[in-house]
Amino acid sequence: MPNAISFKAIASEWSLVLQALEAYKVRLDSEVESIEDEDQQNEIYDELERLDSLIPDFQSQFNSNFK
């Protein structure tokens, strides 16, 4: 059974991953329009779609496990 310190450490790690995913999405979103290669742009749009479903799922798991 995890103690309070390891529980906080795990929660902090989850929080960092969630923040990193959100920051990555913001960065991709801001860069996608400046890319001239249509194939590369489509790849980024696909990645943004994956993040649109991944982030809420991850947030939900975080909330149910750590809040």
Residue 10 has pLDDT above 60, yes or no: yes
Q: Give SS3 for 35.
A: coil
Q: Rounded to two decimals, what is the model's pTM?
A: 0.79
pLDDT digits (tens, 9 = 90+) for 16-50: 999 999 999 999 999 998 999 999 999 999 999 99
Q: Can you tell me the distance from the alpha carbon of 12 to that of 45, in angstroms, rounded to the nearest whole number?
A: 29
